Amino acid sequence: MPTIQDVARHAGVSRSTVSYALSGKRSISRETQERIGAAIAELGFTPNAGARALATSQTMVIGLFVQFFEDEFSPAMLQYVLPISDAAREAGYDILMVTEADGPHAVQRILSSGMVDGVILLNVAHEDPRLPVMRKMKQPGAMVGLPRNPEGFDVFDLDFAEAGKILVDHLAERGHREVILITPRQHVYERGGAYAWRFRDAALQQAASYGIRVRSYYGQTQQPAVNDQLNQILDAREESAIIVHNDAMIAALPSVLYSRGVGVPDDVSVVGMFSEDFGRLFSLPYTAVETSPDKLGRLAVQALVQRMAGPPGATAPGVELIAPHITDRGSTR
């Protein structure tokens, strides 16, 4: 690979001149500009990323830390990753994707070696062990998922409490007095997936205020347990409506309902929590709160890019809970 030195020689100028021609940080005469351009084209020169990182302490790489929990439904994660990757590229950054099981260790390793200029954390838990590590590092961090203490980071998440209320309201308005609530797996609550109880607490409270009786189940995430449990729940059903906050359960619901000959919304009303893409993927005909993974991912990238590029003390990082929005697909009555 040719170096900047080769280009300089070829164009008959010094290394610094080539560098300035490339960055435009000092003025260069038209003809020198052209000679350098020709040399670069002819030699096929591209600046070496490592050298540039060393000199500028900027890598133009964002670390994307993804945790794949076995208690969650994997296709859902991809909905965040892709928009983030695209948004990052649009802003001139590449993505170092880290799926290491030991999150805190991975954060430590990647950040202290200076491989990335900033970090996006997905699937952040209430007491996420990655956060204390992040705080010791100089790179900024943005995240999707609300931790107990978000201080110092740009945090984006859906307003799950509001989402819970909206769905309960939706059913209450239609006269439902008894509903089933299917939540994420119990293990999600235990390891601190805060979105789970933010949603459930708000839904239960709102239901209570209407005098609606709620029976709630921790849902499964792996087949064949998912289908078995759905059948059990439906066997025991007395309620007229179901709220599903569990990707795997709602993805499997249509076929289980079909097989039992249960019609929606004629026999039972169903509402859920999923993105439009997810709904299309699994042909889900249910009214749902849009979870907007693409929007959250892009917001995180934007905030991070601003913080990496901009002056240090621009604005204090903060939490943004985006307002949930219901998409009525006519699955309630």
Contact positions toward DNA, by CB under 7 A? 1, 3-5, 12-17, 19-20, 22-23, 25-33, 45-48, 51-52, 54-57
Least distance between a copy of itself and beta carbon 85 (Å)? 4
Task: Identify which of residues 48 and 99 has a Cβ nearer to DNA in the complex.
Answer: 48
Could you say which of DNA, a copy of itself, none residue 23 binds, taking C-beta under 5 to 8 angstroms by partner kind? DNA
- Interaction with a copy of itself in 132-171: which residues (CB under 8 A)? 138
Task: Identify which of residues 55 and 323 has a Cβ nearer to DNA in the complex.
Answer: 55
Q: How many contiguous H segments (helices) and E segments (strands) does the chain have?
A: 14, 12
Beta bridge mates, 142? 120, 154
- Options 5, 222, 231, 327; binder of a copy of itself; rule CB under 8 A: 222
Block residue for tokens 């939490």: 319
Task: Identify which of residues 32 and 306 has a Cβ nearer to DNA in the complex.
Answer: 32
The 272-301 site mask, x for binding a copy of itself (CB under 8 A), equals --------xxxx------------------
Least distance between DNA and beta carbon 31 (Å)? 7
CA distance linking residue 133 with residue 81, whole number of Å: 22
209 binds a copy of itself (CB under 8 A): no
Task: Identify which of residues 58 and 259 has a Cβ nearer to DNA in the complex.
Answer: 58
The dihedral over CA atoms of 6, 12, 14, 20, expressed in degrees to the nearest 10, equals -90
Could you say which of a copy of itself, DNA, none residue 110 binds, taking C-beta under 5 to 8 angstroms by partner kind? a copy of itself
- Options 5, 16, 29, 74; binder of a copy of itself; rule CB under 8 A: 74
Question: Residue 191, exposed/middle/buried by CB under 10 A (0-12, 13-18, 19+)?
Answer: middle
77 binds a copy of itself (CB under 8 A): yes
51 binds a copy of itself (CB under 8 A): yes
Q: Are 112 and 93 in contact (CB under 8 A)?
A: no
Question: Residue 190, exposed/middle/buried by CB under 10 A (0-12, 13-18, 19+)?
Answer: exposed
Q: Are 100 and 66 in contact (CB under 8 A)?
A: no
Helix (H) or strand (E) holding 50: helix 49-56
How far from 205 is each of 20, 173, 287, CA to CA, in Å? 63, 16, 21
CA end-to-end span of the chain: 67
CB-based contacts of 129-132 (< 8 A; 24+ apart in sequence): 129/103, 129/104, 130/65, 130/103, 130/104, 132/104
229 binds a copy of itself (CB under 8 A): no
Where along the sequence are the contacts to a copy of itself (CB under 8 A)? Answer: 1, 44, 46-54, 59, 61, 64, 68, 73-75, 77-78, 82, 85-86, 89, 94-100, 108-110, 112-115, 138, 222-224, 226-227, 251-252, 254-255, 258-259, 280-283
